[in-house]
Structure 1
């Protein structure tokens, strides 16, 4: 997962309030239950020392939560200095329930882990008259969550239904039918390209009627085709079942996730042979302090053990308090090692990848490096 979206957050001074609300089953009183859950978390933050302005900023977020907003997916919100800095839906949150933390660092380990297990997909369900383009976050654990949707209505005026008559008139209508279908396909591709530009998916899944998929593929650029997978599922017809489409979508997302993890593993093993990777807390810490970490590697369901000292600057990190203090302009604090490494990596422009449970990494942590560090 690219940490650039949270880079500014990691560069800000704390302390921070980090709130996780777990997904719940739908209910008629969901909004009231959310209000009660938030009230308990607000009391906890106040007891931990959170300032009134920051708690009030969070209050505005949860007071505006409608019933059902947290049914299928949880939520993570980070605030500091009376301002909300991050407000995102989140898959899973490790099923650990509602949590509120007042800390010198944003506690985003659970969020990054859940997001790293998901695949961003642009799903296009098409026919010859247009298409429905969805931005979806897919996970085989949590299912598919729709982020955005756009309906593209083809601009061609000519009917795309094939004529039945014979003769020259028939051939002319056939030609106009084909031209209309390709014009509509070009409109759909524009919608897909717009979604790709804003959402930055890992894959495009092309679904819907066969003839519609054919003309859309013919209009797609090489760059789009390289990340496109086609599935024999989905329909724009009213009342069409979505179960087969979701199954096909999750299958393609699972394959993409496997390819992504395999690629990271291969890069890591190759990089180790060229002194361009780090493994173990001490080695990764040294690389993070030097700004050399391109991708921080964690292991699913297993956190990095121990704690680290960190100061105001992201690179002011150490296992020793005095060393961290010598690198910092202000006071230093001791926090869980994983949170500190995430902060340092994110603030210095890196990313994070979570490898499958059972992966053997010393101290459950490794890194792909921008450049070699140490001897």
Structure 2
């Protein structure tokens, strides 16, 4: 997950209000339900010690959700009476949550707004194709391509002229498949879609796939549906879920392989909290892996205002230029996420892969692939 959008959260000191609110199904009572939710999370923040201005800002923001059509909900991050960031969620939270803490509570975003693979669906037939972008937040038309419209159908006779006509039909099909493949590759480059789903009859799908650039083939999924019907949401969600699971599994395999030291005795991956903190301070985390249910995720670390001021022991902060009485306690997952955001490294939740393989990796819930240069 690219975390660059979180930068505004680390440009100001805390404490921070972090709120996760799910969307309810449209109904006559939706506005009333949203007001009750807004009051509940505002009250929870006040109970945790949040200032009145920040509670009011969150209350207003959550109430405004009744005017939005977000399918899954939103997260809100506020401080000093202002909502600084309110990203939409790509999965609904298990329950509405509110946190008041020294650092913004960003770790849940890895699952609730994390891997959101965008699918470019191509409804293919012999005449061309129409494209559609589909993601967790809905879909939109992405254009169409029309190939040659004649001739398109074979005949059943064996006359020479008819065989010649059939050859022209074959040429038309091949020409149209090439046109669709070129247009699909261009649309993928423009939209940066993670997956390409080809919908249509077997021959048309295969003809287009065979003409796609080699570098796109590992993104292609074929759906044996008629091109005239829209791909069902559950079909798209199945493809997206499998992609997320496969990518998480690949990162776990990379992580396991990288734990062995290289020729210079340096490991390419670590999961001990002290080693993770050291790597964060030295800007050596190349990717952070998080398994939210792991015991180390909620372990307390000591932090200062500077992202490099993070330590396992409070006394260590003296060597980092921070007086002990200015140190704050924060969750390990949130502290390490702040570090990787400020150094431009990505992070990924490996829950999907852990559930599929029944392996608790990383063991404590936190791990990192390292860079040494």
| TM-score (norm. length: structure 1) | 0.78
Cα deviation digits, residues 114-173 of structure 1 (max 9, x gap): 455x4624242321321333243xxxxxxxx25543342214363573254826566546
Report if aligned partners of 2:178, 2:208 keep a CA contact under 8 Å in 1. yes
How has the CA–CA distance of structure 1 residues 281 and 111 changed in structure 2, closer, same or farther, with 3 Å as cutoff? Answer: same
Q: 1:346 is matched with which residue?
A: 341
Report if aligned partners of 1:75, 1:88 keep a CA contact under 8 Å in 2. yes
Gaps of 5+ in 2: 156-160
Q: 1:156 is matched with which residue?
A: 147
How has the CA–CA distance of structure 1 residues 293 and 184 changed in structure 2, closer, same or farther, with 3 Å as cutoff? Answer: closer
Report if aligned partners of 1:131, 1:188 keep a CA contact under 8 Å in 2. no
Report if aligned partners of 1:284, 1:366 keep a CA contact under 8 Å in 2. yes
Report if aligned partners of 1:308, 1:320 keep a CA contact under 8 Å in 2. yes
RMSD, aligned α-carbons: 3.5
1:67 shift after superposition: 7.1
Aligned length: 354
- Greater shift in the superposed pair: 285-294 or 264-273: 264-273
Q: 2:158 is matched with which residue?
A: none
Q: Match of 2:317, SS?
A: helix
Q: 1:359 & 1:171 partners in 2: Cα distance? A: 58
Q: 1:307 is matched with which residue?
A: 300
Q: 1:69 is matched with which residue?
A: 70
Q: 1:103 & 1:243 partners in 2: Cα distance? A: 37
Matched, 1:84 2:84: yes
Report if aligned partners of 1:309, 1:318 keep a CA contact under 8 Å in 2. yes
Q: 1:30 is matched with which residue?
A: 30
Q: 1:99 is matched with which residue?
A: 97
1:342 shift after superposition: 1.8
Q: 1:365 & 1:257 partners in 2: Cα distance? A: 14
Report if aligned partners of 1:288, 1:315 keep a CA contact under 8 Å in 2. yes
1:106 shift after superposition: 0.8
Q: 1:364 & 1:66 partners in 2: Cα distance? A: 38
| TM-score (norm. length: structure 2) | 0.78
How has the CA–CA distance of structure 1 residues 113 and 39 changed in structure 2, closer, same or farther, with 3 Å as cutoff? Answer: same
Cα deviation digits, residues 72-122 of structure 1 (max 9, x gap): x243222335243241214253x2x21122322110112224455x46242
How has the CA–CA distance of structure 1 residues 91 and 290 changed in structure 2, closer, same or farther, with 3 Å as cutoff? Answer: same
1:280 shift after superposition: 1.6
How has the CA–CA distance of structure 1 residues 180 and 206 changed in structure 2, closer, same or farther, with 3 Å as cutoff? Answer: closer
Matches within 5 A, 1:157-236: 158-159=149-150, 161-162=152-153, 164=155, 166=162, 168=164, 171-172=167-168, 175-196=171-192, 199=193, 201=194, 203-225=195-217, 227-236=218-227
Report if aligned partners of 2:285, 2:371 keep a CA contact under 8 Å in 1. yes
Cα deviation digits, residues 272-312 of structure 1 (max 9, x gap): 96333333222211221222222223334224253122111
1:177 shift after superposition: 5.0
Q: Match of 1:275, SS?
A: coil
Q: Match of 1:294, SS?
A: strand
1:242 shift after superposition: 5.8
Matches within 5 A, 1:237-256: 237-238=228-229, 246-247=237-238, 250-251=241-242, 253-256=244-247
Q: 2:63 & 2:262 partners in 1: Cα distance? A: 45
Gaps of 5+ in 1: 137-144
